Chain A
């Protein structure tokens, strides 16, 4: 595609892209006597070039492809361009931008820009070159940014999926619903740039605490995890600040109440012995009576076969139960945020810790009684004390995808 300046020089139609000139160039254009939102800037640039005949000219910029990803490449081309300084800005439709500068090393300069902070859709790269003769024209090109692929876009079919990042680009719902402590008002919080909208969250909390009443299911199955009892709701904002773990938003559970935390429907079958894949990201902050459970399906005050639970003891003993038996028990140090998976094919159980160590065991007896709920944060006297950022269930054996799923998660959370 021809750049904007080149279109004028060749007498072609004026591209409407001039209205998309980056904020990064405002100073320069206005210093030249133009305004970035008007055709005047183009004429000013032309006049500037006329009066600065030694400024670089005859160059253009183009994206490497019509559709680019988060790591986007564009090329600046100018015969004899080596040594000129280039300045660029890539802008999305919401006026977010990524800027940079460098020096041309030859006739063609390839530049790779990190567009992960831009929203998907049309993006415009604007470039000008500078040399001893002054600044050259601003030239532009456009592409379509498809910068984000959610975990569930690639590994679909989850039965329930809870996260504070967007897991599926086709999901248009909110991330969580929260209750603020100041007046108990509630509000949905969405995603911005594929992550929890912490600005809106903190604005709503207004310096107080906020608690999660609903963690929305992104799988499309409608298995939202909810808690209608105030004292059982986990915290997401503390004194106005989003709770973070390793730099990312996290839902914090404590053991101040022994009852279940966020619960979701038993339509997600964690009890019958059917194949299941479970993946979660969490950090343990403490123990109750020496134990902490990140997930359990066993109802309170009943003895139900068919347990599915992850239970950790304060001496690093790790208990993974699938069915009415202890499937795996291993000593695993867990001082930091960690990623783990439990996969059962109906007979064999695999436990993966940080995608580096795996253990195997057997499933127990399927349940004859359907548990009345699935509980994130478990329940009883061993309720979870810690932070959870993501928890996904598949009603299938995803062992062939496990490594890639865990890599996707680690790429985002930078756990190990």
Chain B
């Protein structure tokens, strides 16, 4: 699944809101996706819904640098 990225978090929040409104989630489900914040604090991303498009930068996937973890391996 692809992602939309932006340096403006509000743009992604607006996209999420538009999906939520269109899908009409209720009950336990409250939103389409979680906005991912890059560790640099400047970039943001959200999973793209196949049925909703936006004028945002689209990325096929997010690199591991978006999800730094103290991996044990």
Instruction: Among B26, B27, B29, B72, point to the contact of A326 (Cβ < 8 A).
Output: B72
Interface residue count for B (Cβ, 8 Å)? Answer: 28
- Whether A381 is near chain B, meaning CB under 8 Å from some CB there, is yes
- The reply to whether B73 and A325 contact each other, CB–CB distance below 8 Å, is no
Q: Enumerate chain B residues within 8 angstroms of A179, measured Cβ to Cβ.
A: 25, 27-29
Cα of A235 to Cα of B48 in the assembled complex, Å: 18
Is there contact, CB below 8 Å, between B30 and A228?
yes
B12 at the interface (CB under 8 A from A): no
Q: How many residues of A contact B (CB 8 A)?
A: 40
Instruction: Find residues 18-72 in chain B having any chain A CB closer than 8 Å to their own CB.
Output: 23-34, 36-37, 39, 47, 49, 62, 64, 66-72
The answer to whether the Cβ of A400 comes within 8 Å of any Cβ in the partner chain is no
Give the residues from 223 to 267 in chain A that come closer than 8 angstroms, CB to CB, to chain B: 226-233, 256-259
Say yes or no: is B1 at the interface (Cβ < 8 Å to chain A). yes
Given the complex, which residues of B lie within 8 Å of A232, measured CB to CB? Answer: 33-34
Residue of chain B at shortest CB distance from A303: B70
Residue A229 contacts which of B33, B39, B64, B70 (CB distance < 8 angstroms)?
B33
**Overall SS of chain B's interface:** loop
Known contacts A228-B30, A258-B67; decide if A184 and B73 are in contact (CB<8 Å).
no
Chain A positions within 8 Å of B, measured between CB atoms, are 177, 179, 183-186, 213-214, 226-233, 256-259, 289, 291, 298, 300-304, 307, 309, 311, 313, 319, 321, 325-326, 379-382
| B→A interface (CB under 8 Å) | 1, 23-34, 36-37, 39, 47, 49, 62, 64, 66-73
Q: A229-B30, A229-B33, A300-B69 are in contact. List 4 more A-B contacts (CB 8 A).
A: A177-B27, A186-B29, A230-B25, A381-B69
CB-CB nearest 8 A-B residue pairs: A186-B27, A213-B28, A303-B70, A380-B67, A231-B33, A256-B1, A321-B72, A228-B30
